[in-house]
Structure 1
Amino acid sequence: MKQIIVLMGAGWFALTSFAQTKDSSAAYSFSLQQAIDYAVQNQKDVKNAIIDEQIAQKKVNEIMGLGLPQINASFDLREFIEIPTSLIPAEIFGGPPGSFAAVKFGTKYNATAGLEASQLIFSGDYFLGIQASKVYVEISSKAIQRTKIETASTVAKAYYTVLINEERAKLMDVSLARVKKTLEDTKALMDNGFVEKIDHDRLSVTYNNLLVEYEKVQRLLTVGAYLLKYQMGMDINAGLILTDKLADVKFDPSTTNVSTQKFDYEKRVEYGLFQTQYKLAKLDLKRQRLSYLPTAFAYGSLSGSAQRNEFDIFDTDKKWFPTAVIGAKLTVPIFTGLQRHAKNQQAQLSLLKAENNMDFIKKSIDLELASSAVMLQNASSTFENQKKNIAIAEEVVRVSKIKYEQGVGSNLEMITAETSLKEAQTNYFNALFDALVAKVDFNKANGNLK
C-alpha cells in the first residue's frame, strides 16, 4: 500500500492546481487500451511533441526558402532641411590658387524607388542545411514516439492503481461487514452476560481501525481517479468508468518472456534517437569540410530617382532617372584565422561523442533489460507468495470465526486472525501493484509498449 500512497501523493499537488470548479456530467468508459489511446490524442506532452515536429517541418521550409529568389522593394524619400555644402577649388571660378569656394549641390527633395533581387547559385552550407533540417524532423518524429510510450506507461500504472484500490475497497467492505456482524453478536452476548466487556472492546477497536483504513482507501481511490484523468488529459471532474477488471489484467508471469536472447535495439525509440543524432553529427562534419568551397550568387537591381526643389515627387509629368544593375558574386574563402580548421576539429569530436553515445545507449538498454527482468521475476515470486498468504489468512479467519461462534475459540484469536488478514491483503495488493508495474516496465524495456 505504501507504493500506491506514494504514487497518489506525487500527483496530488499538480491535480489540485489544475482542478476546475465546474461540474461535468459527462461520464466516459475506458478499457486500459482505450485510456492509452485517449491519452496519446489528448495529453499535453504528446500534443506539444506533435507541435515540435510541425515546427521542425516549417524550419525545413524556411531553409529551403534561402535557395529561392530573394526579392525586395524599397522607397526612400528625403527632405534636406539644409542642403549639403561642398568645398571646391576657387580657381575654377577665377579665384586665387589654393583657395576654396563653398558650394551647395543638390535639391531639397530626393526620392529613390528600387527593386532588388538575388539568387543563390551554390553554397555547401545551404544544401547540407536542408539535409540537417530534415534530420531534425526525424528527431522530432521519434520524440513523438518516445512521448507516447512514456504516456502509455504512466497511464497504465495509474489505471492499475485505480483497479487495485477498487478491489481493495471491495474486500475491506466484506471485512467490515463480517467484523460488524461479529461485533453485534458479541454485544448481544455481553448484554446477556456470556462474554466480558473487554471482548466487545477489542472487537470495537478492530472495527474502528478497519473503518479508518476503508475510508482512507476510498479517498485514495478518488485521488487515483483524478491522477488517471490528469495523465490522460481529461477534465479531472469528468466521470470515469474503468471497464477492465482486475481479474482480467492481474499479473500472470506465464504470459511474459524473460529470456535473455539477443535484443534488437531498433525496437527502442531511444536507440533510434541516438542514431539520428549520430547522422546529424556526420552532416555537421561534412558541412564544415564543405565550408572550404566558394559561395556564388547572382543579383540585380532596378531603381529610379527623382530630385525636386518642390514637393512634387509624385508628379508623373516630371522625369525620374533610372538605374539598372546586374551582376554575380563569387566568394572564395582563403584564410579565416584557422577558424574553419578549429570548427572542423570540433565537428570531428562531436561525431566521436555521438559514436560513444551509440555504444552507451546499447549498454544502457542491456542493463535495463536485465534489471527489468530481475524485477519482474522478483515481483512474480513475491506476488505468488502473497497470493498464497491471503488464501491462508482467509481460511484462518473462517475457522477462527466458527470456533468463536461455537464457543471453542477465543475473541482474541478471532481478532488476531482479522488483523493478519488485513495485513495479508495489504501485502497482496502491494505485491500485485509491484508486479503490474514491473510488467509495464519490462514491456517498455523490450520495446513492446506502444
Structure 2
Amino acid sequence: MFLSLVASTPALAQEQAFSLQQAIQYALENRPSLKVLRNQEQIAKARVGEIRAIGLPQVNAGVDINNNFIQQKSIVDFSAFGGGGTLDPFTITQQQLNSGQDIVLNPTYTVPEGMSGPQAITFVQPWTGSAALSGSQLLFDGSYLIGLKAASTYTQLSRKNTQQSEIEAAEQVSKAYYSVLVAREQMKLLDQNLARLDTLLRQTTIMNQNGFVEKLDVDRLRVSYNNLKIDKDKAQRLLVLSEQLLKFQMGMPQQQAIVLTDPLNESSLENTTPKLNYQGFQYARRIEFSILETQRELAQLDQRNIKAGFLPRLVLSANYGYNGVGNSLARLLDVRAGANNTTTRNWFDFGVVGVGLQVPIFDGLRKRYQIQQSRIELENVKLGFEQLKQSIDLELQQSDATVANTLSVLRAQRQNLDLAAEIARISRIKYQEGVGSNLEVITAETDLRAAQTNYYSALYDALIAQVDADRASGALLLK
C-alpha cells in the first residue's frame, strides 16, 4: 500500500529552478487571476459573435395543438343577412308546368321560436392546431451597426485589461523574487556569523578554563550567540513566508520546492540610472493610457448609438404554415392537407411575406437626456487623460528620485559593510593575540551584522526602485 501511494503521488517535492524572467513567464501562464481575465477575453469575443448574429437571418419552426375546452362565442343577428328562419315548403303543380307560362316563386320564411334577433354562436372547433415556419432578416438598423463596432472595441478593452494585469503580475513577482533572494542571502550571512561566533565562543571557553580570560567574557559571547540564534530563527520564518508569497504570486502550488537561479548582487543595477528628463516621454507606452483611449472610443460609440435610435428600422419577414381544426383530437391528428383547401381537408396552408418599417417619432425626450449623459461621460474620459498624464509625470519624477536615492544609499552601505568587516577581522585578531578586549570583538560583530543587514536592505530597495521605475516608464515587460 505504501509503495502504491508513493507511485501515485505527484512529484511536487522535486525542486524547480527559476530565473526572474522564467518566474514571470510562469506567472503569466499559470496565475489563476490571469486565466480568469483570458476567459473574459473569450467571452468578449463570443459577445461579438452574439451581436453579429442579430443581423443574420432568423428562422424558427413551431407546432401547436390546442384544446378549446371553452369555445369563444360571438353575437350574430341572422336577420341582418336577409333571413331570419327556415324556408316554408311550397308546391309547383303539374297544371302550372303544362301552362307554358313563367312560374313566379314567392318564398316565405318561418323563424323558429327562440331564434329571432342576435344569437351567440361559435366559429371555433373544439381542437385546433398549427404548424408554421417563420423567418426574418434585419435590413437596416443603425443601432445594430454601431453595437457591432462597440462589441469589437470592448474585446480590445478586455485584452488591454489583461495586459495591465500581466504587468502588475510581473511587478509583484519581481518584488517577491528579490525578497526571497535577500532573505536567503541574510540566512547565509547569519549562518556564517553564527559559525564564526560559535568558534570564538568555544575558544573563549577553553581560555577561561585555562584561566586566561574571565567568565564574564564567555557570558558576553554566549548572550551574543543566543541573540544571533534568535535572529536566525526569525530570518528562517521570514524566508519561508517570502517563498510562500513568491509561489502565490506565480500561481504555483505551495508544496512545490523552488530554486532561484538569479544571483543577488549589484550587477543588475549597472544600467540603472535616473532619467532626469521625461519631456519627450510617450504616454502611450503606459497601458493605462491605452485603456483610457479605448474607453473614450466606447463612450463615443455609445453616443452614436443613442443618436442612431432616431433612424428607422427595416425588417423583412416571411411565414408559411398550416392551421388545422377538428371536433376531436383524433380528427385533428388525422391530417388531411393540401393546396386546394377544399372542405375535405382539415389542415389548410397559409403564407405571408412582408416588410416592416418602424419610424421613431416621439419618445418623451428620453434619447435627448441620454445624449446629455453620454456627452458628460465623454467629457469625464477626456478629463481622465489630463489626470492620468499628471499622475504619470509624478510617478516618473518620484521613481527618478527614488532610484537616485537608493543607489546613493547602496554605495554608502557597501562602504560601511567593507569597513565593518575589516574592523571585525582586526578585532578578532587582536583578541586572539591578547591585545584586544572581548567587548571590542562583540561590538565589532554586532556592527558587522548591522552593516550586513543595512547593505542588503539597501540592495533590496534599489532593486525595487528599479522595478518601480520600469513600471512607471512602461518598460517592465519589455525587457
Fold-level similarity (TM above 0.5): yes
Shift of 1:213: 0.9
| 1:248 CA drift (Å) | 6.6
2:138 match: 120
Give deviations 1:89-119, integer Å, cap 9, x for gaps.
3754546798543334322211111111111
DSSP 3-state at the match of 1:255:
coil
Can you list the C-alpha shifts for 1:25-74, whole angstroms capped at 9, x where unaligned? Answer: 33211111111111111111221121111111111111111100111112
The alignment status of 1:306 with 2:341, answered yes or no, reads no
Alpha-carbon separation, structure 2, partners of 1:81 and 1:233: 65
Q: CA deviation at 1:277?
A: 0.6
Equivalent residue for 1:236?
254
- Offset, 1:81: 2.4
**1-structure distance, mates of 2:140, 2:180:** 62
Q: In the alignment, is residue 52 of structure 1 matched against residue 8 of structure 2?
A: no
* 1:351 alignment partner in structure 2: 378
Match of 1:227 in 2: 245
Structure 2: gaps of 5 or more residues? 1-8, 86-110, 338-344
1:429 match: 456
Q: Structure 1, unaligned stretches of length 5 or more? A: 1-20
Match of 1:279 in 2: 297
Q: Which sits farther off after the overlay, 123-132 or 403-412? A: 403-412
What are the Cα deviations for residues 384-412 of structure 1, in whole angstroms up to 9, with x where unaligned? 11111111111111111111111111111
Percent of aligned pairs with the same residue?
40
Cα distance per residue 1:276-313 (max 9 Å; x no partner): 11111111122222221111111111121111112233
Q: Does 1:88 align with 2:106?
A: no
1:205-216 alignment runs, 5 A limit = 205-216=223-234
Bigger-Rg structure (1/2):
2
The answer to whether the Cα contact below 8 Å between 1:60 and 1:130 also exists between their aligned partners in 2 is: yes
| Aligned-pair CA distance for 1:256 | 3.3
How many Å separate the matches in 1 of 2:53 and 2:438? Answer: 86
Question: Which has the larger displacement, 77-86 or 196-205?
Answer: 77-86
3-state SS in 2 of match to 1:56: helix
Q: Equivalent residue for 2:95?
A: none
* Letter paired with 1:377: A
CA distance in 2, matches of 1:248, 1:78: 85
- Equivalent in 324, 349, 352 of residue 351 of structure 2: 324
1:177 aligns with 2:199: no
Counterpart pick for 2:216 among 189, 198, 201: 198
Equivalent position SS for 2:333: coil
Q: Does 1:373 align with 2:392?
A: no
SS in 2 for 1:246: coil
2:307 to 283, 286, 289: 289
C-alpha distance in 2, partners of 1:249/1:43?
A: 29
Structure 2 match to 1:390? 417
| Counterpart residue type for residue 36 of structure 1 | I
Aligned counterpart in structure 2 of residue 66 of structure 1, from 54, 58, 65: 54
Q: How far apart are the structure 1 equivalents of 2:308 and 2:336?
A: 54
Q: In the alignment, which residue of structure 2 is the partner of 1:441?
A: 468
In structure 1, what is the Cα distance between the partners aligned to 2:37 and 2:459?
A: 33
Provide the TM-score with structure 1 as the length reference. Answer: 0.91
Q: Distance in 1 between matches of 2:11 and 2:454?
A: 36
For residues 408 and 179 of structure 1, the distance between their equivalents in structure 2, rounded to whole angstroms, comes to 19
Partner of 2:22: 34
The total of aligned residue pairs comes to 429
Alpha-carbon distance in structure 2 between the residues aligned to 1:171 and 1:96: 117
Distance 1:317 1:111 in 2: 13
Greater Cα shift, 83-92 or 94-103: 94-103
Q: How far apart are 1:234 and its partner, in Å?
A: 1.2
The match for 1:255 is: 272
State the alpha-carbon separation in 1 of the partners of residues 149 and 123 from structure 2.
Answer: 54
Pair 1:325–1:90, CA change in 2 (3 A)? closer
CA positional deviation for 1:84: 2.9
**1:116-136 C-alpha deviation (Å, 9 max, x unpaired):** 111111111000001111110
Match of 2:264 in 1: 246
Query: Counterparts of 1:285 and 1:260 in 2: how far apart (Å)?
Result: 39
CA distance in 2 between partners of 1:435 and 1:248 (Å): 9
Do the aligned partners of residues 289 and 106 (structure 1) sit closer, same or farther apart at CA in structure 2, a change above 3 Å counting?
closer
What code does the residue aligned with 2:438 have?
A: N
Q: Within 2, Cα distance between the matches of 1:22 and 1:248?
A: 38
TM value normalised by structure 2: 0.86
Matched residue type, 1:219:
R
Determine the C-alpha separation between the residues in 1 that align with 2:116 and 2:296. 72
Could you say what the CA RMSD is over the residues aligned between the two structures, in angstroms? 1.9
Aligned residue for 1:287, secondary structure, equals helix
Q: Structure 2 residue aligned with 1:417, among 422, 440, 444?
A: 444
Runs of 4+ in 1 over 4 A off after TM superposition: 90-93, 95-99
2:5 alignment partner in structure 1: none
Contact 2:274 2:403 in 1 (8 A): no
- Structure 2 equivalent of residue 76 of structure 1: 64
Aligned-partner Cα distance in 1 for 2:120–2:304: 60
**8 Å CA contact retained: 1:250, 1:432:** no
The code of the aligned residue for 2:311 comes to L
User: Contact 1:251/1:432 (CA < 8 Å) preserved in 2?
Assistant: no
The amino acid that maps onto 1:174 is Q
1:409-441 deviations in Å (ceiling 9; x for gaps): 111111111111111122112111111111000
Is contact 1:158-1:227 (8 Å) kept? yes
Q: Is the Cα–Cα contact under 8 Å of residues 397 and 417 in structure 1 kept in the other structure? A: yes
